[in-house]
Amino acid sequence: MRAAALFGGGPDMNIIGRSVANLFLHHQATILKLRNQPIIGNVLSMVSRRLLPRDALVCAQIQGSPLDGLWIYLNPRTAQNIQYTASELAALQAVVDYLRPGMTFFDVGANMGGFSLLAARIVGPSGAVISFEPDPDIADRLSRNLARNGFHHATVVQKAVWSEPGELPFVRVDAAVSLDRGLGHVATSSSDSAHAILVAAVSLDSFCALGTKPDFIKCDVEGLEVQVFSSMMKTIAKHRPILLCELADKGERVKLYEMLSPFSYKIYFLENKKLHLMDVHSDIKPVSHNHYFIPSSHQERLKDIINAS
């Protein structure tokens, strides 16, 4: 599903810049083809660099998918690439199926906020959304996205979630590689650290000790899920939230299951709009790598989407 329906440019963008942004937003496929032409491509690239800054943003409305009607700030050069695979749409739909007004949703590794925006619309002003995003530029855009939609019950926490509070080296993706900087991660090697910035870190147990009770936690932290979940074991033991976690590695899946099974969690994968119980030691790889850790206390509520066979 693609972002469309441009609603003006950024506040500092002049009329020419807005026109160029519109051109990129609505005719990106054609522009990409022209850029591959020897002469016209060079001219087009030069003109676009001068008239449209690389960090320019436009506000666009999502059409189709569970996010239909929501507004989001996007880079016009990449806006037409904002689309969702069938498996990602299913994950968004799972949030729709479970969340209700008044609930609290945690988005760990929120990025630009697709899940945060959807959750904020569902839980409404009587609920809360807490979005954790350590990259300062992405966190700023996430705040703008939430504000643009009037979701004042959503809070952006510009911190990394980790096993303990403090500071961590965080590697930001070069804008020359990814205009939307969507693949940043906590540095895990000395080579990574050399190109990192320091960001604040928080543990979810210390955060929730102030009284916040999560009902649903989505976690996407580029392979560091074990460290993140180790920061919330007291919260999990006390509140038993549903957990949606992207895991590409079988070993990580086994470790998380061993951490969570004492609290009556079972692990599921989503296929054909149904949750299927997973043998944690099997070699099965969910299409989207999304894993659903569901405690026994929530399984009755989700019986309509849990495969009973």
pLDDT in tens, 194-204: 678 889 999 99
In angstroms, what CA-CA distances link 230 with 90, 157, 184, 226, 297? 27, 19, 21, 6, 21
Give the CA dihedral 211, 217, 222, 225, nearest 10 degrees. Answer: 70
- Does the structure show a pLDDT above 80 at 183? no
Q: Which residues pair with 242 in a beta bridge?
A: 216
> Do 10 and 58 contact (CB within 8 A), yes or no?
yes
Write out pLDDT tens, residues 41-71: 566 566 556 655 666 677 778 877 888 889 8
Q: What is the pTM of this model?
A: 0.81
Residue 14, token pair as written in the block: 């002049």
> Do 275 and 307 contact (CB within 8 A), yes or no?
yes
- Report the percentage of the chain scoring pLDDT > 70: 69
> Residue 65 carries which DSSP code?
S
Collapsing DSSP to helix, strand or coil, 44 comes out as helix
The fold adopted by the segment(s) 86-299 is Rossmann fold (3.40.50)
- Does the structure show a pLDDT above 80 at 211? yes
Interstrand relation of 290-295 and 265-271 (parallel, antiparallel or unpaired): antiparallel
Instruction: Determine which of 21-35, 50-64, 198-212 has the lowest per-residue pLDDT on average.
Output: 21-35
With CA atoms as reference, report the closest residue to 151 among 113, 111, 181.
113
Domain extents for the chain?
Answer: 3-81, 86-299
The pLDDT of residue 288 = 65
The kind and range of the H/E element at 276 are strand 274-277
In angstroms, what CA-CA distances link 14 with 42, 56, 114, 260? 23, 11, 28, 53
The pLDDT of residue 290 = 83
Q: How confident is the model at residue 9 (pLDDT cuts 50, 70, 90)?
A: very low
The pLDDT of residue 226 = 84
The pLDDT of residue 32 = 57
